[in-house]
Structures are given as C-alpha cells and as structure tokens.
Structure 1
C-alpha cells in the first residue's frame, strides 16, 4: 500500500525558469529537489515553516474575521487547502486561484488592513512580492526565517504554559 506524500506544490514551479524560490509554494530550489527524499517529519516541518512565513507576511495585509466562512468558500469553489493549514495561509491559496474573480473579500471572511490594496489582484501582487522576499530570506537562513528548530522550541514553550 502506498502513502500519499503531502506537498505544498501548486503545480507551476517558477524554479524551472530560474527562480531560487518558487513563487507558488515558496519552497527554495534545494527543498524542491530534496522533497521526495525527506522523511514525513521533515516535510511536515517544512510545511509548518512555510505556513508560519505566510501567516507572518499575510498579517501585514489582511486578517481573517470569519475562519468558517473562509473554509466554506474554499470548499464551495474547490480551492485546495490542508485541514491543519492556518486561515491566513489558506487566504494565500484563495488569492492565488481567485484573485481575478473575487469582488468582495468580506464575503470570504477576510478584512483588509488599512494600508493594503483593496483590489484582489493588486493585493495578490503585493502579497506575492512580500512572500518572495520572505522566501528568499528563509532560503538564506536569515534570523527572521522560522526554522524547524525554532518552531519546535515554540511548541515546547506553548505546551509548558
């Protein structure tokens, strides 16, 4: 029996055109190359890092005011997401596939920060640029990049509370 390998891949990898960090899934080229050889724990850790990065970046632009509404709309429009995926990371997926059709973000349980572009296409461009920059910092291992070790430390601190 085979086990499905979870991947954040969105099906269009910009590393094939020379990017060192994929614009779709925000993994860097080495991670993409090594993904199939990683243990399930290593892959899960990388997915958690990517989710944490997306949440950190997306918080600058928007907030989820109704997570159930967001989930219902994702299901309605068949936008792929993971059960354990944070709501703000899910918004990145929603904007990736629906930015051309979305008229009113509040119908998805989303509110914009005052400085964020109010047009979903422009919002996605700004979010994409910020994610690309964060992904590049993560690739280089800069201090603000959340590593698996930092995530594990945070989990231990949370469980001690």
Structure 2
C-alpha cells in the first residue's frame, strides 16, 4: 500500500484532539493512533487503515451499492475530499458522507444507490446511522484487542 498518497486518514473533523473522544468521529482512528501516527512505520499505518477499512466496508455494504467507482472518485475529487485510492470505494463514500452535506447529495450523481432495506431512511439519517454503527464496532474492537492487553499489564 502506498501510504505516501495519504499521509494520514484524517478528514479534518478530529474529535480526539478537540473534544477528547477515544475514537475520532472523522477518521475512526483511536486517540493513541492519532497521537502516534507520525511515528508509525508504513506497516503499522497500513494495519490501522485496513482495520478501519474492514469495519467501514462491513457497515457501508449493508446500506449502499456502488454502481460506478469512477463516478464516485470523480465526485469525491470534485469536492476536494481526502481519498486513498488503495482503500475500498466504500471508504471514499464514507468520507463523502462525513465531509459532504448529505442533505444536498444526490447519490446517483456519484454512482451510488441505497439498498432496498434503507431506502426509507433520509440520507442524513443514514449517514448518522453509519457513524453510530462504526463507533460501536470501533469500541468493540478496542475492548477486544486493546483494553484486554492493558488489563493484563
């Protein structure tokens, strides 16, 4: 993976440094990862990015279908949003929903559709639901793989 194309997964809405959250509401890194990021090796950065990608894809695929990666990339680029082309397009879409204004987005213009199960939910509410679910998954992952290690020390 080329970590030089995206030095950091930050999308400019950091809540770990501004309000003290344990998990950033923007990029979904843990606070200690945000703080230590510049000291991480490429392999460590890749591991963080792949964890966030796996959690994001799991949630996003349930709610959205990407019909055109090209349209999505064009739209994300047009909005000048940070994007890592080596990550899943569902990560690009998540950045669009986080940094864009969901209430004014027409997903078809980005080559994206909402799955049948969620078509009744307004896009703004769907974006909030995605973030809530990502936070829950991130917290569960942290509890499983990081807190248990701390408690043994």
Regarding TM over 0.5, the answer is: yes
| Residue in structure 1 matched with residue 133 of structure 2 by the alignment | 130
The structure-2 alpha-carbon separation of the partners of 1:4 and 1:60, relative to structure 1 and needing over 3 Å to count, comes to closer
**TM-score scaled to structure 2, two decimals?**
0.81
- Higher mean Cα deviation, 102-111 or 121-130? 102-111
Q: Residues 5, 111 of structure 1: CA spacing in aligned structure 2 closer, same or farther, 3 A cutoff?
A: closer
What is the deviation of 1:4?
Answer: 7.9
Aligned residues: 140
In the TM superposition, residue 114 of structure 1 has moved relative to its aligned partner by 2.0
CA distances 1:45-90 after superposition (whole Å, capped 9, x unpaired): 2111111111111112112111111111112222221121211111
Paired position in structure 2 for 1:86: 88
CA distances 1:85-122 after superposition (whole Å, capped 9, x unpaired): 21111100011122345342111111111222542211
1:7-46 superposed matches below 5 A: 7-16=8-17, 17-46=19-48
- CA gap of 1:140–1:109, structure 2 versus 1, over 3 A, is same
Counterparts in 2 of 1:4 and 1:127: CA distance versus 1, 3 Å: closer
Unmatched 5+ stretches in structure 2 = 146-153
Q: Which sections of structure 1, spanning at least 5 residues, go unmatched? A: 143-161
Paired with 2:68 and 2:52, the residues of 1 have a C-alpha distance of: 22
Alignment deviations for residues 2-40 of structure 1 (CA, whole Å, 9 cap, x no partner): x78711112232123132111111111121222122111
Q: If the length of structure 1 is used for normalisation, what is the TM-score?
A: 0.78
